[in-house]
Amino acid sequence: MAELKYTKDGRLLFTKEMRDSYTVLVPQMLPIHFEFITKALSLEGLKVEVLNTTHRGIIDAGLKHVHNDICFPALLVIGQMIDALKSGKYDMDHVALMITQTGGGCRASNYIHLLRKGLKKAGFDKVPVISLNLSGLESNPGFKMTLPLISRLITGVVYGDALMWLSNRSRAYEVNVGDTDALLKKWTTRLSDEMSHTKLPNKKKVRENLLAIARDFGALKLSDVKKPRVGVVGEIYVKFAPLGNNNLERFLRSEGAEVIVPGLMDFLIFKVDNRVEDSVIYGGKAAKKAVATILRNYIIGYQDLLRECISYAEGYPVPARYADIKEMVKGFLGYGNKMGEGWLLTAEMLELINSGVTNIVCTQPFGCLPNHIVGKGMMRPVREAHPNANIVAIDYDPGTTSVNQENRLKLMLANARRALERAEAAQDASSPEEQAAEPAAAGE
């Protein structure tokens, strides 16, 4: 067992001696993306394992060791980690935990402290917790946010967004069931292996890979059946994590819908762009603004690359540019509204509607006040501006049954199907064949 070392305020450190022998547990959020994110972390010398558990005991562990008024995502993440430590699978003298901190005002920055409190209550206070952040909130001798790591993480997010975006589309329409999953496995394995043998991500190589991915998906045989298109927005964890949203995407697909989920790139750009907007709104050091601007533009460059390459996949829509999404929210929310998902959540709803996806599920976790304001709170203004919008807010908390959630989703889908039928009827009525038949019928 490595010697335990503490900061002056009593925080247990993850030391250099722990790197070689400790297993670092990471809670699952994005199944595709985390293949690459964990690979990037492993290349820094960490032995990383993603927790994919989904049983009820996770919620029970969260309720037992965290205050039951805390937000649902925090309860799930902390519960999943404590449940894993209690499973008997890991050596308590050689295990650590890792969670992200965004630097904002919500749980994404603060529940690392709740996790440590829960660990102490559960008898795991000798387990170190590593913070993954770009804000200098916490540091550990055994883990550093290096430029190569940041570059690999961003590349992993680009690959994850591309594969998630394309596979969601193809899975809804694939003629040969299983083609999408096979292609997804091929590319996650190939890209993960490539990361292991590449010193640093090369933008030219990333472009080659994205083009090849787009062409592979574009070559899949897809049906031309019409399906309701449903967008998913909301608090970032519940929006993406199957554990947090009761496998929302799988349920929507089982009901015959195409699922559209905005990627993680926009959220990353949004968090960095907030630093730039802060300097515009409140003032501040020019150097801080300059660094944030450089990082923001660097990530946007990769998003532009992603959009360019997806355009080569025939039959697949191209995600919107961050700048366009940001412009859409003007008149609805100001850029100073940045807690949680901030103005981006509302902007994602507007972007979906503007791209023809008028059916939207807004995932609302218990205890997330910012999300309720920019999500549920903005639904009325969005509907007033877009009367055809079919938006439903689905609440997620420890006591909500999946039956209640699914019933609300089915009602939204019923409205979506009726709207699709009306649109098809109107299109048929205005087709050249129908128009030619009308004069002939009148002459008869």
- Domain of 41 in residue numbering reads as 19-145
How many whole angstroms separate alpha carbon 236 and alpha carbon 22?
29
109 domain-assigned: yes
Q: What percent of the chain clears pLDDT 90, i.e. is strictly above it? A: 80
Asked whether 312 and 223 are in contact (CB, 8 A), the reply is no
Burial class (CB in 10 A: 0-12, 13-18, 19+), 363: buried
How many whole angstroms separate alpha carbon 118 and alpha carbon 166?
39
Instruction: Tell me the CA end-to-end span of the chain in Å, nearest whole number.
Output: 94
Q: Alpha helix locations (H) across 11-104? A: 33-42, 57-65, 72-86
How many whole angstroms separate alpha carbon 435 and alpha carbon 266?
44
Residues 157 and 137 in one domain: no
Burial class (CB in 10 A: 0-12, 13-18, 19+), 153: buried
Residues 102 and 85 in one domain: yes
Residues 133 and 174 in one domain: no
Q: Is 438 a residue whose pLDDT tops 70? A: no
Residues 150 and 137 in one domain: no
pLDDT score for 444: 39
pTM: 0.92
Q: How confident is the model at residue 254 (pLDDT cuts 50, 70, 90)?
A: very high
Residues 68 and 122 in one domain: yes
Residues 81 and 30 in one domain: yes
Q: Which residues of 214-223 are buried (b: 16+ CB within 10 A; e: fewer)?
A: beebbebebe
Strands, DSSP E only, in 80-123?
95-100
Residues 141 and 158 in one domain: no
Residues 141 and 195 in one domain: no
293 domain-assigned: yes
How many whole angstroms separate alpha carbon 434 and alpha carbon 269?
48
Which of the listed residues 318, 334, 351 is the one where a domain comes to its end? 318
pLDDT, tens digit (0-9, with 9 covering 90-100), for 69-98:
788 999 999 999 999 999 999 999 999 999
Q: Which candidate, 320, 307, 323, 328, places its Cα nearest to that of 273?
A: 323
Residues 208 and 313 in one domain: yes
How many whole angstroms separate alpha carbon 164 and alpha carbon 152?
18
Residues 46 and 73 in one domain: yes
Residues 30 and 73 in one domain: yes
Which of the listed residues 318, 340, 356 is the one where a domain comes to its end? 318
pLDDT score for 118: 93
Residues 125 and 220 in one domain: no
pLDDT, tens digit (0-9, with 9 covering 90-100), for 111-164:
888 899 999 999 999 999 999 987 778 889 999 999 999 999 999 999 999 999
116 domain-assigned: yes
| Tally of domains within the chain | 2
CATH number at residue 45: 3.40.50
pLDDT, tens digit (0-9, with 9 covering 90-100), for 262-318:
999 999 999 999 999 999 899 988 999 999 999 999 999 999 999 999 999 999 999
